[in-house]
């Protein structure tokens, strides 16, 4: 396995529901995900299932050399596996209406990050030279309910790209209604020294910094 760069990360998640509908997963600074359950009833179940499946997917699928050398395909396989895991739950009577999530998955390499953005989610990268790159809702990419994971077994819709990620660069991932915040607001909020709770949104923010 490759040596991973020095990474720090922080998250801001709302806490005004009885069950958390947002969660973060991280593995050895190589893999990150932020998930938002797109239902108040079973959103917390969708969130946990999606986050755990994506993490499992990264740990296990990367063991196959063909995926490890092609991070784009590795990312796609992780997201597809997560989508199927959610979609299959609708066969159970309790979840007949389906389990759906918005979110972002990210694989960190030496100088590159591979990112997948699905449902109502956004990615903002602020580079060391202050240049910014966008993906997802904040970039004006089309969005509808069918883009949430769990919506369809075969017609999976998400945006993905590789981003340069080097010392001094920062990623801001946003899920749920938080993703609809203006780019400037996301950047300012992510860099506040004192992180306050998100009180007016139903999503979360994950900030990853390359030291």
* Domains in the chain: ranges and CATH: 7-210 (3.60.40.10)
Return all residues near 29 (Cβ < 8 A) that are at least 6 apart.
4, 5, 6, 7, 9, 108
| pTM listed for this prediction | 0.92
DSSP 8-state class, residue 149: B
**Residue with the two structure tokens 């769990």:** 150
pLDDT of the residue at 104: 97
Q: Which residues in the chain land under pLDDT 70?
A: 1-4, 15-19, 141-142, 192-201
What is the distance in angstroms between the CA of the first residue and the CA of the last residue of the chain?
21
Can you state the angle between helices 71-88 and 43-61, rounded to 10 degrees? 140
């Amino acid at each position: 396995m490759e040596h991973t760069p020095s990474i720090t990360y922080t998250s801001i998640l709302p806490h005004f529901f009885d069950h958390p509908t947002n969660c973060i997963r991280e593995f050895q600074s190589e893999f990150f995900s932020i998930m938002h359950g797109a239902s108040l009833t079973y959103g917390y179940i969708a969130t946990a299932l999606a986050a755990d499946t994506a993490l499992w997917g990264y740990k296990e699928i990367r063991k196959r050399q063909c995926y490890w050398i092609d991070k784009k395909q590795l990312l796609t396989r992780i997201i597809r596996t997560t989508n199927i895991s959610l979609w299959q739950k609708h066969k159970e009577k309790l979840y007949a209406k389906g389990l759906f999530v918005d979110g972002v998955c990210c694989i960190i390499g030496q100088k590159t990050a591979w990112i997948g953005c699905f449902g109502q989610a956004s990615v903002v990268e602020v580079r060391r030279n202050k240049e910014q790159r966008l993906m997802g809702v904040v970039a004006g990419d089309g969005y509808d309910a069918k883009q949430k994971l769990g919506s369809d077994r075969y017609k999976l819709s998400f945006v993905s790209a590789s981003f340069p990620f080097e010392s001094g660069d920062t990623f801001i991932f946003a899920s749920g209604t938080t993703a609809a915040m203006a780019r400037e607001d996301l950047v300012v909020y992510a860099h506040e020294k004192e992180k306050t709770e998100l009180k007016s949104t139903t999503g979360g923010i994950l900030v990853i910094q390359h030291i």
